[in-house]
Amino acid sequence: MVTLNGMPELKPVKDPQRERLTNLDQGIKQLLKDHPVDTLEFLLPDASKAWGKPLSWEFLNTATRKHDLARKGYVMDLNIRYTFAKRSVVLVVLIEHWATAQSVNLHRTAHYYLDLLERFPKDEVVPVALVTDLKPARIANSVHSESRGRVWLHFETLVREVSREEYSAWAGARNAIAQALRGAMAGPQSRAEKVFRGAEALKDIVSPEEYRNLFTLAAEVGKLTLKEVEAYMKKTQLRSEAVEWLEAHFEAKAKLEDARKMLELGASWDFITNVTGLRPADLKKAGKVAPASKLAKK
């Protein structure tokens, strides 16, 4: 296809790393929303100890106010507004998830924080940066600006690096957030062991339907590879539905990638289905490529 000026149309280049981080970010946000009480307990344990479990909660609008309509607006990751029996002040927790330490942007978080203060001036607002990077890093927790002997702005956020949490400290905890994220925690155990032990604990916390999705998320957080899974299986002689599912998951991902490449080369769907067993609907559902009718040869 060519553009109006006669030049060939440039197709956007897919970035697998960016796509993976986007899917991980969406999975983390859904996990936090599905378990708001566990979220509070994991991110702000002092609040839970002081005020007990919240009586109720609500998820706030994540879009910020656009004072300049010509500029692109900001969208927060997640805001949860909690109410407690032991205090009259309502707690609003602003949660920003960062899959990598280098992507943390406190200036953007400060925008979100100021927006929430304007919307809820009587509530206590606490900003939290949840970082699921496997390696601990030196992450700044504040933005500071001063001149002429005066401080014009000082903003701080609570940084919760999962990699600084001790894996063994959460053993047996009935907290879905902690168990799903144990693959990124610190400890001498292998990543596979951390993921599988966390997954075993999840079985007693969530429904079987949710467990399958959370196991996928736990494996992504721990960045498991098939070799790591196989090594762990040999070491423990473990054969569970989780291991079997993970093997099938890696095989399915490989088939999806093969099908996508064949489509790009112009292969017909009859040929692709014969080789991989996949059909156009499978790729549509996975969200890997554009509608097959536009890509595949008839």
220-251 pLDDT tens trace: 999 988 777 777 776 665 555 555 666 666 66
Instruction: Give the tens place of pLDDT for each residue, 139-153.
Output: 999 999 999 999 999
Segment 32-42 mean pLDDT:
95
- Would you call 77 helix, strand, or coil by DSSP? coil
- Tokens 């399958």 correspond to what residue? 212
Q: How far is CA 95 from the centre of its chain?
A: 12
Q: Are 132 and 97 in contact (CB under 8 A)?
A: yes
Gap between the Cα atoms of 248 and 111, Å rounded: 43
User: Could you tell me the pTM of the whole model?
Assistant: 0.73
**Crossing angle of helices 191-202/208-221, nearest 10°?**
160
Pick the range with the lowest mean pLDDT from 201-205, 231-235, 268-272. 231-235
Gap between the Cα atoms of 257 and 288, Å rounded: 8
Q: What is the pLDDT of residue 52?
A: 84
CA-to-CA separations, 154 to 95, 97, 142, 146, 281, in angstroms, rounded? 19, 21, 7, 9, 51
pLDDT top residue among 1 and 93: 93
Q: Are 98 and 129 in contact (CB under 8 A)?
A: yes
Q: What is the pLDDT of residue 178?
A: 96
DSSP state of 95: E
Segment 177-181 mean pLDDT:
96
Q: What is the pLDDT of residue 20?
A: 67
Gap between the Cα atoms of 105 and 153, Å rounded: 16
| Average pLDDT for the chain | 81
